């Protein structure tokens, strides 16, 4: 499905990114793994899937996304075919704490929006006259539903990513640049609620009766990257067990 394709997956040392890198490799892709922390896990995964590269980069640093793309492109031999913007952070931005509010909004917009969009910009510039490529962005149902009272900054950052992806998809479809966005609800990762009461509340609002598994997000991502449904470019796809439908 992804034979002879090179895929850059950000935030691939755990959770959805880890599962996505595995799924893409199993589909035949050459995977380049990005990580910020969890170096040992990232290196183990790179060895397991025979990755084309493994790159450390802190996307909260301005300019890091541009440097990541250039390094990944070099590792790929000059051509990256697909990008998965999975790296993201979840910070509290409580109204009553001015410091946390300001730093949380800034950091989340840097990582969740600016870095992701800088990677898309690099990809589109490379692909515009070179046959196109595919991008999958991992956003959140919070982009549409909103999030908890202390996480307005997170919801806003994911909403911004959705809007940017739609805009770029419309603009660059003529060059066969395909851009999709997934908006999961709770996923079985470190970000999911683990306290008994919080877990019960989270599951209670999901008609399917459970949180999503990382492999479900990974499977959808690999399919979209395959180009088998190019007409879906620009789409935002909900994966949340019917807990929020638009």
Helix H or strand E segment including 39? helix 39-49
What's the distance, CA 172 to chain centroid? 20
d(CA 62, CA 205): 38
d(CA 121, CA 229): 22
Distances (CA, A) of 184 to 16, 55, 137, 153, 181: 11, 26, 11, 17, 10
Half-sphere exposure (CA, 13 Å, Cβ side) for 238? 14
d(CA 232, CA 229): 6
Distances (CA, A) of 148 to 154, 171, 195: 10, 33, 16
| Residues taking part in catalysis | 154
């Amino acid at each position: 499905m992804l034979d002879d394709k090179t895929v850059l997956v950000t935030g691939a040392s755990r959770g959805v990114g880890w599962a996505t890198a595995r799924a893409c490799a199993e589909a035949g892709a050459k995977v380049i793994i990005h990580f910020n922390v969890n170096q040992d896990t990232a290196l183990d995964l790179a060895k397991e899937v025979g990755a084309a590269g493994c790159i450390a980069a802190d996307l909260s640093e301005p300019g890091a996304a541009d440097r990541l793309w250039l390094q990944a492109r070099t590792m790929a031999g000059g051509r990256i075919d697909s990008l998965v913007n999975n790296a993201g952070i979840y910070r509290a931005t409580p109204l009553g704490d001015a410091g946390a509010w300001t730093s949380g909004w800034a950091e989340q917009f840097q990582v969740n929006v600016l870095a992701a969009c800088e990677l898309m910009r690099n990809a589109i510039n490379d692909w515009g006259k070179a046959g196109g490529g595919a991008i999958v962005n991992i956003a959140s149902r919070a982009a549409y539903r909103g999030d908890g009272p202390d996480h307005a900054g997170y919801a806003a950052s994911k909403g911004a990513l959705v809007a940017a992806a739609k805009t770029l998809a419309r603009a660059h479809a003529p060059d066969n640049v395909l851009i999709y966005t997934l908006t999961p609800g709770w996923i079985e990762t470190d970000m999911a609620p683990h306290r008994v009461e919080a877990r019960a509340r989270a599951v209670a609002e999901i008609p399917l009766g459970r949180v999503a598994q990382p492999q479900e997000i990974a499977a959808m991502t690999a399919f979209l990257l395959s180009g088998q449904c190019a007409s879906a470019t620009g789409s935002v796809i909900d994966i949340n067990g019917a807990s929020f439908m638009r």
